[in-house]
Structure formats: C-alpha cells, structure tokens
Amino acid sequence: MSELPPLIAARGLVKRYGATLAVNALDLNVARGELFGLIGPDGAGKSSVMKAIAGVLTFDGGELAVFGQSLVSDAACEAAKARLGLMPQGLGQNLYADLSVEENLDFFARLRLVPPDVAAARKDKLLEMTRLARFRQRPMKNLSGGMKQKLGLVCTLIHAPELVILDEPTTGVDPVSRRDFWAILAELLAEEQMTALVSTAYMDEASRFHRVALMHAGQALAVGRPSELLAHAPGCMVTVHTEAQWPALAALRPQFAQLGALGNALQVYADGGDEAQALAAVDACLRPVLAADSYQLEAGEPELEDVFIAMLRQRGERLPDSQALTAAAPARASGGEPVIEARALTRDFAEFRAVDAVSFQVQPGEIFGLLGANGAGKTTVIKMLTGILPPSSGVGRVAGVDMRGAGRAIKERIGYMSQAFSLYLDLTVSENIRLYAGIYGLNRARTQARLDWIVDMAGLHGFEDALAASLPMGLRQRLALGCALVHQPQVLFLDEPTSGVDPLGRRQFWDILFTLARRDGVALLVTTHAMSEAEHCDHLALMFAGRLVADASPAAMKRELTAQRGPLWDIRCADPTAALARLRAAGVAASAYGNRLHLFAREDELNARVRPLLGADARCQLRPVSMEDVFVERVTALEAEKPV
C-alpha cells in the first residue's frame, strides 16, 4: 500500500468562509485501498476537507491532488468526480423521498452513465449485500434511518468508484444499523479494492479505520493507526468504584483536570503512562475522605476520546468546568416511592402497536436510560409519560399522579427536552429562557435568578444576546436543557439530548446531568443512540418493536451477555478479510473492525474452532464488553426471530 503514490495528497490546505478559518494548513495523505477516517467534533473542518477532495468546493491555499492530478482547475475537478462517489452528511440527503429503493438506484445509475446491463447486475449485488432486496418497491421516505443510509451508500457506489467519500454516514443511526453499515462497507472495500475517506464525530468508531486523522479547529492534531494515537497524550485511566461518588468527586477535582462520572463509578485520567503511579495518586486523594474498604481502584488504557480531550488540554484548550455546580453538598433523595412508573403502558396507532405493555420504574436521583433502535417506541413512551399522548391502555405515573388526568400543577414538576424541538431559533438566549419562564408562571425576580443560573450552568456568558440559531450545537443543547430546567422540575425527560454534540460538549452535558441527579435528586429518563452514553446510566431498559426486552444495570447486562456467549476477543492477523471469510464459512459469527476482527467465544471454542482458521500469525486478546456489544447482540438476535 505504501509503495504506491497516495490517492489523496494535501499540502498546507486552507479554506476560509469570510473571517472563519475552516481548514488551517492541513497536510494529509490517503493511500490506495485505505479506509481512512477524519474524526472530530462539528466545526473541526471535516466536511470542508471532504468537499474539496470531491471537487465540489474551492480552496483558498495550499495544494490538493486526487488520483495524482492537482485540483487546480474545473476540468481537473470534473475528471476526479467521474472516478469517485460522494455521500453528503444527513440521513438520506443524496436520495429522493418519493422514489422507491429501486427507482433511486436506477436514477443514480443513469446519472452516472452506467450501461443498463452493468447497472442491473450491480444493483442486484448491492441490494443483496445490504439486505435491501426485499424492500425494492418501498418509498425512500418510509425507510428507517439505518436503511436510508444503506441505500445512500449503494447509490453512491452504483458506478463502482475508485474512491468513496462518506460524510458522517452513521450520525443519527442506531447502533445495530451503524455496525451493519461498517460491516457492509468493509466487505465492499475488500471485494472491489476501493479507497474510502469517512468522517465521524464518534470517537469510538476510530477502531474501524486503517488510519485516522484527529481533527480540531481545521487542523490534524495527530495522524496514524488508531493504536498509535494513544501515544500522543500518554496517560492512564483509573476507574473508581464507590457508593460515595460525591465526596470522591470533590476530593479528586483539585488534583485531576479530566474526570467524570460513569454510572456508579468515576473515571479519572492521570497524565503519564505509569499505572502504579496513577493508582497511588488517586488513592492519595481518596484516603483522607473515604474509608479504605469503601472504594476500589482499577487502572486501564484510556479510550481515544479520553486521549483527544487530553491532547486539547495539553494544547491549552479550556475544558468544561462544572466545579461550581458540584460545590454544594448532595441532597439526593433516597428510598421511597418511584417518581416515574410505567405499568403495562401500551399505545396503538390504528392497527399498529407502537408500545406494547411496557413496565418499569425510576427512583428519585436515578439516571435511567431507555435504549432501542429507530422505531422501537422510546419517544412514544416519553410522550405518554409526559402527558402529550394518552395511552391506549396501561398506566403512566409521574410524581405519584396518573398522567392521563394530570393537571397543570403536576406538569410544572416535569421538564422535557424533546428530540425534534426545544428552542425558538429566531429568539436570543435570554429571550428563550424568559419565554419558558413565562410559560411556567415564574415571577420577575425568580425569572432573573433562573436566567443567571442557566447562563452559569450552560457556559453561556457572552452569548445572552446571541440568536439560538447561531450557537454551536453543544451550547444550543445546554441552552435547551436550561430551558427544560427553568422551573426546577423534580423529573426530567431527555430524548436523544446529545445527538450531534462534540465530545467536549457531550462530557459537560453529562456532568450537568450527574449533578442534577446526585445533588438535587432529580429523576432523569434519557434516550440515546450513543452506547458510550448508556454507560452513564444507573439503570437501563432495552426496547425492541415496542416491547421491553431487558431491564438491568449496564454491568448486569454485560455479565449476562458474557455468560451466554463467552468473552469478547480482539483478533489481529495478516489477512483479516480472508480470515473473516473462513470464519463465516465455518459458521463462526465474527465482525470486521478496521484491520482487526471481533468475536464472542469461550476459550475452548476459540482454541478448537477459531485459531485453526486464523493462521499461525494471529494474536487473540480479550477485550472488555461494551454496551454497544450488548445492544447489537440482543437486537440482532431478536431481529432474527422477528425480521423487519
């Protein structure tokens, strides 16, 4: 791969939008046959780089060559476009809503001048590979988010491009569809010897790529294999297991700049790579305030997102600081009656049952996660529990009151941050806050006090007179959270609150939620597609096709999966594509992760069935089970029992 000239070569690439420097002297090489990732938050410059490479956006400085040709003229850009495929950001943005799956594919084949016989054969192959063949006649607008993205991919690939450019293809897609998308892409790249340039804001997707560039403020902070990037900010992640989270957090904050809550544990990033020193430093902070038998410490390797944040911190970037929020003593309620309760909650829409006899409870001060693929029924459950939709049967109780007959008084104790709408974008920050305060009947003095609190909580100082539409996504979401909290509710419902938010903003958001739960005793019900965020929850409920199919803590769900399937193995070998084909032919369920393989197996099965198919050079290492693994395995098994 490295002996050939790069397929993409950028030197000192610059792109400006007025006074904004979107791409800042970027150097980048992408080799032929690579799956290369641009990873970074919104505004990092990823889309601008990709559009320039695709020949659809001019650049203001530096050099850019694709397929060995400099993109200095319209003719050169047009020549490059014929040999590549571009899939823009957004679910189905390159598709036509009223056309069927097959009609969309036929349209793109004609647009790309693919001969009819070639187009027909390629269409059949791509539809079969993506399992869209039986949905040929379904209109695009009636597809799920994951199916839209798979259709967008095959339309991008219909003319067999040498280079495919995919701009955040998995944003807003549920974990099963996301993993399915990556598996299909890896298989296509291996079969057709294509090169792929893919952007993502999900740091946990880095392991899918051969190489990645960590993007921030238009620059590449680091470029290399995912495993190599950990060395750019050497450190150790120490997990603190303790019931006394609050005093532990207060004791650790003065010493460690990078830490946060993760469910019933705390995670502390200690600079430097020595595990023994990291454990000793954390223990020295905790020993004066906690009994020796009240906490346990565990050291491990940090995730790429932790390293990314450490790199920003070492460059002098200001990290989110919620120390003021956590300064007061905790007043978390404990015991007593649940504040959210669903009893056989059911909702029908004509002949379609969206929610089927769902039951669960949420205690005061608990962070409760409601998980499920697109269309599982999560949002419908929230709408019934907030009184927006009446249930067809069953009971939804909040703060001890049946929501079917709840009056204004009970609704004033509930905060709701919806997936689709929470802010008036043509109003300023202050105007949005004052509007919500007026809706909830706050007087002038209390409105001003809550406005000041929200501005502090959300880090909005200096933005009070800015339109909500002009705010970065992370600030906008924190403003929406503030508006949902303006009347100090006892219960808060959040429907995918961090979708599209960058890693720094997402961490600050969860720090705020942790404070609300642990200090103020607010009960939180959260839906999310980001499985790394599910780790923040005290308790989880997994929905599938309107039913509740699992209800336990994250740790319990992981233990159950390991007991059923065996541990998770990370496998490195010389030819992972060929090894994957041999494993699948032998009936072993495995998946591609960049240049590695993942599979569940007990050690005796690994030695007897798997190792002989891998080759003598293969290395198998145990890998911790994640909530994404749990989600995908459970939902995939359920889909096999009840196909879509």
Higher per-residue confidence, 415 vs 374: 415
- Predicted confidence (pLDDT) per residue in 442-489, tens digit: 999 999 999 999 998 888 889 999 999 888 777 888 899 899 999 989
Confidence bin at 303 (pLDDT 50/70/90): confident
> What is the predicted pLDDT for the residue at 331?
46
User: Please, what is the average pLDDT of the chain?
Assistant: 87
> What is the predicted pLDDT for the residue at 421?
67
Q: Which residues contact 318 (CB under 8 A, 6 or more apart)?
A: none
> What is the predicted pLDDT for the residue at 535?
85
> What is the predicted pLDDT for the residue at 233?
85
> What is the predicted pLDDT for the residue at 617?
84
Number of other CB atoms surrounding residue 333 within 10 Å: 15
- Mean pLDDT (whole number) for 68-96: 88
Q: Is it the case that residue 373 has pLDDT exceeding 80?
A: no
> What is the predicted pLDDT for the residue at 627?
87
Buried b (16+ CB within 10 A) or exposed e, 460-493: beebeeeebeebebbbbbbbbbbbbbbbebbbbb
> What is the predicted pLDDT for the residue at 400?
83
Q: What's the order of all strands across the beta sheet hosting 539-544?
A: 414-417, 491-495, 523-527, 367-372, 539-544, 547-552
> What is the predicted pLDDT for the residue at 323?
42
The burial class, CB within 10 Å (0-12 / 13-18 / 19+), for 301 is middle
Secondary structure class of 638 (helix, strand, coil) = helix
Instruction: Identify which of 52-66, 475-489, 505-519, 581-595 has the greatest average pLDDT.
Output: 52-66
> What is the predicted pLDDT for the residue at 2?
47
Domains parsed from the chain with CATH numbers:
8-229 (3.40.50.300), 233-314 (3.30.70.260), 340-553 (3.40.50.300), 556-641 (3.30.70)
Taking the alpha carbons at both ends of the chain, their separation in whole angstroms is: 40
> What is the predicted pLDDT for the residue at 388?
86
Q: Is it the case that residue 86 has pLDDT exceeding 90?
A: yes
Q: Is it the case that residue 334 has pLDDT exceeding 60?
A: no
Secondary structure class of 197 (helix, strand, coil) = strand
**What residues are paired with 540 via a beta bridge?**
369, 552
Lowest mean pLDDT among 168-177, 272-281, 289-298, 564-573: 168-177
Q: Is it the case that residue 503 has pLDDT exceeding 80?
A: no
- Predicted confidence (pLDDT) per residue in 538-567, tens digit: 999 998 889 999 999 998 999 999 999 999
Please tell me the distance from the alpha carbon of residue 377 to that of residue 391, in angstroms, as a whole number. Answer: 13
> What is the predicted pLDDT for the residue at 394?
94
Q: Is it the case that residue 106 has pLDDT exceeding 90?
A: yes
Please tell me the distance from the alpha carbon of residue 13 to that of residue 594, in angstroms, as a whole number. Answer: 27
> What is the predicted pLDDT for the residue at 642?
65
Q: Is it the case that residue 597 has pLDDT exceeding 60?
A: yes
As given in the structure block, the two tokens for residue 160 are 């067999």
- Predicted confidence (pLDDT) per residue in 215-269, tens digit: 988 999 999 998 888 888 888 999 999 988 888 988 998 899 888 888 778 999 9
Q: Model's pTM, two decimal places?
A: 0.79
**What residues are paired with 66 via a beta bridge?**
8, 69
Higher per-residue confidence, 267 vs 328: 267
Secondary structure class of 335 (helix, strand, coil) = coil
- Mean pLDDT (whole number) for 269-294: 91
> What is the predicted pLDDT for the residue at 364?
93
Q: Is it the case that residue 324 has pLDDT exceeding 50?
A: no
Please tell me the distance from the alpha carbon of residue 389 to that of residue 383, in angstroms, as a whole number. Answer: 5
Secondary structure class of 457 (helix, strand, coil) = helix
Lowest mean pLDDT among 100-109, 268-277, 319-328, 529-538: 319-328
Higher per-residue confidence, 400 vs 77: 77
Confidence bin at 318 (pLDDT 50/70/90): low
Place of tokens 């969860």: 510
Q: Is it the case that residue 502 has pLDDT exceeding 90?
A: no
> What is the predicted pLDDT for the residue at 326?
44
Instruction: Identify which of 6-10, 263-267, 377-381, 616-620 has the greatest average pLDDT.
Output: 6-10
> What is the predicted pLDDT for the residue at 319?
60
